[in-house]
Structure 1
Amino acid sequence: MTRTVLVTGVRGHIGARVAAALAGDPEIDRVIGVDTEPPSPPRGRDGGRDGPVLGRAEFVRVALRGPDLARVIRDADVDTVVHLSLVSGSGDRQAGGTGGGRSAMKEHNVIGTMQLLAACQRSATVRRVVVRSTTAVYGSSPHAPAVFTEDTEPVEVALHGYARDATEVETYVRGFARRRPDVTTTTLRFANLMGPGVDSPLTRYFSQPVLPTVLGFDPRLQFVHEDDAVEALCRTAGTDHPGVFNVAGDGVLLLSQCARRTGRPVVPLPSPAFRLVGGLARGARLVDFSPEQLTLMSHGRAVDTARLTAELGWRPKYGTAAAFDDFLRSRGGPGHLPLAAVDWLAGLVTKR
């Protein structure tokens, strides 16, 4: 039975939501949320900030790389650790950005996770560890399979950025699982998050007045709604589900379909020009597009979630299209036409 849960990364939107949801579970005695700063109130559907943050969960100001984390785990007799503080960039608001450059991001993601796992390894009470990862570990490549399963090896090994960090983190998690076979270790690889409260490089891209795309490419994209992400994390935090699981909404959307749903004009650019625009946008802090995000916008990525459904006896409530539509509605965009209707209208325009 789960007694005391420690959640890292509660400064971010998803971390705060997970901590609050777990704190509302009557079967859990205590939830401790740790981060370097407390969370901000969540974004409401009207764009404002309102609502509870951590509920009855306790906040403790602790850095992953500091010595105090092990003390918190020991003193609170923590039995479940939910690690959610992986960041995809210095401005990643989902996990509370590092506020520094690439070196600070890597130190936070990789070294911070190593310190956390070391603390868990020394603990006599920890019995379950859940780690948030990303489908970016599979990469995006013209040579990639149509659909990735958890056992698919990436065609091209990530050499930099968030995908590289996540790959290294998963390596350390597997090492921890071998050293502590008595601890149930779960790794959840999430597709790109969508929803009213999600503020990420991809949601900021779709919020721009004009959408640049890569000329000649129409990548398949897959999303997971924030509500489903929170549900998956809470389910794996409450009961034992060892292994690695893809988490994504059913179906895919082509980038062109996403663009039509936003109602914004599209500007196709040659690949070098698209990368230049992406670099300029990063410099202007409009969209923090990492190299792996730029690759995703060329080749896309889709994953299979059959293992998750079989293991948890549950599947995400929102499909990819529904998650994207809910995001658009929260930002005042169209997002209300069903996919078939959008494609039918596009076909009429093409025929004319």
Structure 2
Amino acid sequence: MSGAGKVVLVTGVSRDLGRRFARAAAADPAVDRVIGVDVVPPRGDIGEVSFVRADIRNPVIAKVIAREDVDTVVHMSVIATPGSAGGRMTMKELNVIGTMQLLAACQQSRSVQHLVVKSTTTVYGASSRDPAMFTEEMGPKRQLRTGYAKDATEVEAYVRGFARRRPDVRVTTLRCANVLGPHVESPVASYFRMPVIPTVLGFDPRLQFLHEEDLLEVLRHAVVTDVHGTFNVAGDGILMLSQAIRRLGRSTVPLPSFAVSGFGSFIRQARLADFSPEQLAFLTYGRGVDTTRMREELGFHPVHTTASAFADFGSNLPPRTHGSERVLDGLTRTLAAATDESRGALR
């Protein structure tokens, strides 16, 4: 365990999980100060955290690190949805260009000793060729070409490059499973909040979840320990999609695979959920990751299993009927249009 007096900079504090982690880190006795950075102020209480309005895409972030004498950087500002960023191009800029500028600032700094990156198991992709469980040494079986998955892969590549250039800096990359909990806003959470849940006909994907409180705790754990490396982080066990939906008491509508992308467009336009290509692949094939290294090397043991994280999410989800008719109507129209298109292609 490192000594007290850490000065921690946290990116992405305008979002709920970033703000809550910054507060949790500030309360840790091993941490002296926490500086939260984002382009807009956090909406909630940040307690003892010092907020600095700064865009990590701008080289000014190097001045913030130098002025505050930061020794630990926690990068949490890789975002998953283009809608929240103002479009796909802006999302890519924030994710990839922002990470490059942040790493350049860390590389210049003489004070930075530790970099913690919140990554995602999305870097493994989701396909019919996947292993039962991905270990940290494995990569995706198909090239990741779009969206958040591609951004996260590029971010990790830049982080590895930084680690080679600055071997004196400890680098900890946390590949987190889909985060769920009562307060989480994410594509997966929005999907399970839908009044009627579409599934892909003939598929029952395996799912893993990480409870939001365990996410905050693994980030804190990574900050105050000297362990470095890349770690899969997920609650123990898996849930099949069919099990998860039954536990919510939701109705399902199985869609043939040729109709799913059209329905994804409908629910994005209706702002019900975000069905990106990687989201569709995940809800078709699922994904499992091995967490042996998390337990044995990182020394972290989540409080919640996959099942209990999902149960806590579901327990705070009131029964919904509002919007069911609109979703069912959209499903019907999408399926009819996709069927007509499929028939036309066969003529």
Q: Taking structure 1 as the reference length, what is the TM-score of the superposition? A: 0.88
For 1:219 and 1:331, the matched residues in 2 are separated by 22
Indicate which of 71, 81, 85 corresponds to 1:89: 81
For 1:314 and 1:118, the matched residues in 2 are separated by 30
| SS, match of residue 290 in structure 2 | coil
TM superposition shift of 1:313 = 2.4
Tell me the C-alpha RMSD between the 2 structures: 1.2
For 1:252 and 1:27, the matched residues in 2 are separated by 34
Query: In the TM superposition, what whole-angstrom CA distance separates every residue of 1:40-83 from its partner, at most 9, and x where no partner exists?
Result: 23xxxxxxxxxxx3220111111111132111100000000000
Is residue 3 of structure 1 aligned with residue 6 of structure 2? yes
- Amino acid of the structure 2 residue aligned with 1:73: I
- Does the 8 A contact of 2:231 with 2:298 survive in 1? no
For 2:250 and 2:317, the matched residues in 1 are separated by 13
Counterpart position of 2:34: 31
- Amino acid of the structure 2 residue aligned with 1:58: S
Is residue 76 of structure 1 aligned with residue 68 of structure 2? yes
The unaligned stretches of length 5 or more in structure 2 are: 321-347
| SS, match of residue 82 in structure 2 | coil
Is residue 292 of structure 1 aligned with residue 284 of structure 2? no
Counterpart position of 1:199: 185
Is residue 40 of structure 1 aligned with residue 43 of structure 2? yes
The unaligned stretches of length 5 or more in structure 1 are: 42-52, 92-96, 335-352
Counterpart position of 2:164: 178
For 1:78 and 1:133, the matched residues in 2 are separated by 21
The structure carrying a bigger helix percent of its residues is: 2
**4+ residue runs of structure 1 moved beyond 6 angstroms?**
none
Counterpart position of 2:199: 213
Query: In the TM superposition, what whole-angstrom CA distance separates every residue of 1:244-291 from its partner, at most 9, and x where no partner exists?
Result: 000000011111001101111110010121221111111222111211
TM superposition shift of 1:26 = 2.2
| SS, match of residue 142 in structure 1 | coil
For 1:276 and 1:112, the matched residues in 2 are separated by 32
TM superposition shift of 1:14 = 1.4
- Amino acid of the structure 2 residue aligned with 1:301: R
| SS, match of residue 8 in structure 2 | strand
- Amino acid of the structure 2 residue aligned with 1:191: A
TM superposition shift of 1:129 = 0.2
Identity of aligned residues (%): 57
For 1:103 and 1:258, the matched residues in 2 are separated by 34
| SS, match of residue 31 in structure 2 | coil
For 2:19 and 2:242, the matched residues in 1 are separated by 33
Counterpart position of 2:316: 330
TM superposition shift of 1:312 = 2.9
- Amino acid of the structure 2 residue aligned with 1:66: N
Counterpart position of 1:232: 218
Is residue 110 of structure 1 aligned with residue 113 of structure 2? no
For 1:238 and 1:15, the matched residues in 2 are separated by 17
| SS, match of residue 267 in structure 1 | strand
- Amino acid of the structure 2 residue aligned with 1:222: Q
Counterpart position of 1:56: 48
Query: In the TM superposition, what whole-angstrom CA distance separates every residue of 1:135-157 from its partner, at most 9, and x where no partner exists?
Result: 00000010110100101121112
| SS, match of residue 87 in structure 1 | coil
* C-alpha spacing 1:186/1:286, structure 2 compared with 1 (3 Å): same
For 2:56 and 2:269, the matched residues in 1 are separated by 28
- Does the 8 A contact of 2:37 with 2:51 survive in 1? yes
Indicate which of 15, 18, 25 corresponds to 2:18: 15
Aligned pairs, number: 317
Is residue 67 of structure 1 aligned with residue 59 of structure 2? yes
- Amino acid of the structure 2 residue aligned with 1:10: V
TM superposition shift of 1:329 = 1.0
| SS, match of residue 266 in structure 1 | strand
TM superposition shift of 1:333 = 5.3
Q: Taking structure 2 as the reference length, what is the TM-score of the superposition? A: 0.89
For 1:122 and 1:314, the matched residues in 2 are separated by 31
Counterpart position of 1:344: none
For 2:271 and 2:258, the matched residues in 1 are separated by 20
Pairing of 1:153-172 with structure 2 (within 5 A): 153-172=139-158
